[in-house]
């Protein structure tokens, strides 16, 4: 199997990681440094972890930040599918 084909196969272990990296590199998704968020306040809990409300840098609007208790391919697949369904 060629490298090209492997990279587009969702069964590949790094498929969803690579999808996220490529989406950030192509500027389809924004990447934010965690250290740039402030005024963190807990607003909820989901099956994957906590959700906090935060400000980014000096912007006045709020972001909802989701944290994840564990990080594996199944979780990443669900996350990528959630992001795709938002668009
Ligand atoms: N954008 C948001 N704005 C306000 N509150 C939010 C936001 N996202 C999540 N929350 C809060 O955090 C809680 C957990 O959200 P999260 O999306 O992690 O889990 P969920 O929607 O309950 O389902 P699941 O854990 O199965 O994905 C929500 O019930 C809600 O109270």
Question: If we measure between CA atoms, which residue out of 18, 62, 8 comes closest to residue 39?
Answer: 62
**What pLDDT is stored for residue 1 in this prediction?**
47
Instruction: Quote the percentage of the chain above a pLDDT of 90.
Output: 46
Q: Is 43 in the pocket of ligand 1 (CB under 6 A)?
A: yes
| Per-residue pLDDT tens over the stretch 8-26 | 788 887 888 898 899 999 9
Q: What is the mean pLDDT of the chain?
A: 86
Residues pairing with 38 in the sheet: 55
Annotated binding site for ATP: 66
C-alpha span between 65 and 87 (Å, rounded)? 18
For residues 23 and 31, give the distance between their C-alpha atoms in angstroms, rounded to a whole number: 10
For 18-74, the pLDDT digits (tens) are: 988 999 999 999 999 999 999 999 999 988 889 999 999 988 899 999 988 887 888
- pTM, whole model, 2 decimals? 0.78
Checking if the pLDDT of 76 tops 50, the result is yes
21 vs 19: CA distance, rounded Å: 6
Q: Ligand 1 atom 15: the closest Cα is on which residue?
A: 46
């Amino acid at each position: 199997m060629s490298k090209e084909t492997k990279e587009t196969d969702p069964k590949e272990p790094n498929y969803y990681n690579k999808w996220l990296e490529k989406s950030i590199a192509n500027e389809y998704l924004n990447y934010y440094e965690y250290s740039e968020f402030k005024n963190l306040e807990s607003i909820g809990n989901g099956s994957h972890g906590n959700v906090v409300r935060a400000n980014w840098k000096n912007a006045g609007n709020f972001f909802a930040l989701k944290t994840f208790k564990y990080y594996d391919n199944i979780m990443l697949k669900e996350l990528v599918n959630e992001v795709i369904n938002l668009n």
